Amino acid sequence: MDEYETIMPGTILRASSLITNVGRVANPECEFSGCKRTTREGKPFCSDHVESSPYVKAVMAEIALRDDEERLLAKGEPPSCDGHLVRETLLTLEQGSFTSAKLSRLMDISHDATETLIRFMAKEGLARMSKTDRGALVISRTEDQR
């Protein structure tokens, strides 16, 4: 057999291009009860049921904890020293000092929650608090963190 075959007059294709889906494994079905949709990339759940994945459930639980912390901070209540927002702030401060307004935007939390967080971290010695010439609250790393 020749490497090329004529399928229709004037159309030449490689013989190998006629073989399709050989050795290809079918995509698995979604593991969600009652769902028959196929999944992509060998994942266990389709895009409609991805929230059923244990990993996604864990991420969603972490986000809910962070949201709870923000609500408490907005009410003026102090967070846990090892809470999500304290750890996130410490990581953010590795890039420099920030005003409360800038930190609020970076972390996507309310301004009231940010100011409570800054005051708490300064009180606990986790960060240094200061003010700009215009009176804006600033947070930065403590000297021993540098």
Instruction: Give the separation between CA 30 and CA 45, rounded to whole angstroms.
Output: 4
The distance in angstroms from the start CA to the end CA of the chain is: 73
**pLDDT of 18:** 46
* Phi-psi domain of 45 (left: phi exceeds 0; alpha: psi -120 through 50; beta: other): beta
By C-alpha distance, which of 85, 91, 120 is closest to 104? 85
CATH number for the region 52-145 comes to 1.10.10.10
Domain coordinates of the chain in residue numbers? 52-145
**pLDDT of 26:** 66
- Sign of CA pseudo-dihedral 40, 41, 46, 51: negative
> What are phi and psi for residue 98, nearest 5 degrees?
-140, 145
By C-alpha distance, which of 103, 99, 89, 105 is closest to 145? 89
How confident is the prediction along the chain (146 residues), in pLDDT tens digits per residue?
A: 455 544 555 555 544 444 445 556 667 888 889 998 988 888 888 988 989 989 999 999 999 999 999 999 999 999 989 999 999 999 999 999 999 999 999 999 999 999 999 999 999 999 999 999 999 999 999 876 55
- Kindly tell me the burial class for residue 140, based on how many C-beta atoms sit within 10 Å of its own C-beta (0-12, 13-18, 19 or more): middle
Q: How many other β-carbons are positioned within 10 Å of the β-carbon of residue 15?
A: 11
